[in-house]
Amino acid sequence: MDYSPSRMIPLAGEALDEKLREFLAEDVGGGDVTSEWTVPVEARARGRLIARSACVVSGLPVARRTFELLDSRFSWEGEAAAGSAVEPETTLASLSGRARPILTAERVALNLLQRMCGIATATRRYVEAVAGTDCRVLDTRKTAPGLRAFDRMAVADGGGCNHRDGLFDMVLVKDNHRRLAGGVAAAVSAARRKAPLGMKIEVEVESEEDLYQALEARVEMILIDNQSPETVARWSRIARESAAPPFLEASGNMTLGRVREYALAGADAVSVGALTHSVMAADIALELEPDE
């Protein structure tokens, strides 16, 4: 079966600006009193964004735009490429502009940049763990509300693939849907009556009976959840021998130490919630000095 997880369309233009203005408003409120009361209005600053920890780069255009929204004549150069791996003390970008706006935007820009680099770095580790197999690393909907687009851009920069964007662009029949609908066959039949042409249907299976029902329904994708690599291998063989072999996704507490076993067991993809739900932010600093 031909299935390619799609990359979420990156936020850009007014959609990105709207998000960033929201984040800035949350932080600034009635004003950045420290910067306004201590830094002269005419003061200018120059500085560098520095990776203090090794990381995979993601989010620099987002950080840049955060600063630009507060200073239209802000200057930025030497941006490290998205997806590149950098060592500690690497300069990610150099910047200059009016001091007050830079200080005001600093925390929002760094929060997003550190999170995105952290996600990209974690994703790269999982991608490297399954290297040499045909298995892909997928993200999940376990993202921080309001940050999904940023989180998923970071997964893609790390070499992973984006799964469904949300609840609206693909049918995924999980355990609760299955029980409430009256079983796999009933759920798939009901979804097919409503789904537009080309929309994929995936079914989560937790037993061999579920698996056979999903194969009989000829769904495009099957999610094998919370099973051992041995079970995934056995069910993969069953699925490959069916009349319409589906795309097989494995999930459930995936760790770096276990993920390759699932890739070798026959999964076309592994989905890893930890990429976004428990990210460790990269250590990135902004060092500033007066720009006379």
Catalytic residue list contains 36: no
Among residues 125, 174, 218, 234, which one is catalytic? 174
> In the annotation, is 107 catalytic?
yes
Q: Of these residues, 142, 218, 234, 258, which one is catalytic?
A: 142
Q: Collect all residues with Cβ–Cβ distance below 8 Å to 128 and sequence separation of at least 6.
A: none
CA-only gyration radius of the chain, Å: 23
Known catalytic residue at 48? no
Active site annotation includes 175: no
Token readout for 74 is 């802000």
Q: In the annotation, is 142 catalytic?
A: yes
* Residue for token pair 């984006």: 162
Please tell me which residue in 106, 157, 204, 249 is annotated as part of the active site: 204
Which of 7, 44, 46, 107 is the catalytic position? 107
Cα–Cα distance for residue pair 3/246, rounded to 1 Å: 9
Q: From 27, 22, 13, 116, select the one nearest 63 (Cα to Cα).
A: 116
The catalytically annotated residue of 79, 128, 165, 225 is: 225
Residue 8: helix, strand or coil by DSSP?
coil
How far is it, in rounded angstroms, from Cα 25 to Cα 62?
16
Annotate 143-191 with three-state secondary structure. CCCCCHHHHHHHHHHCCCECCCCCCCCCEEECHHHHHHHCCHHHHHHHH
> What residues act catalytically?
107, 142, 174, 204, 225
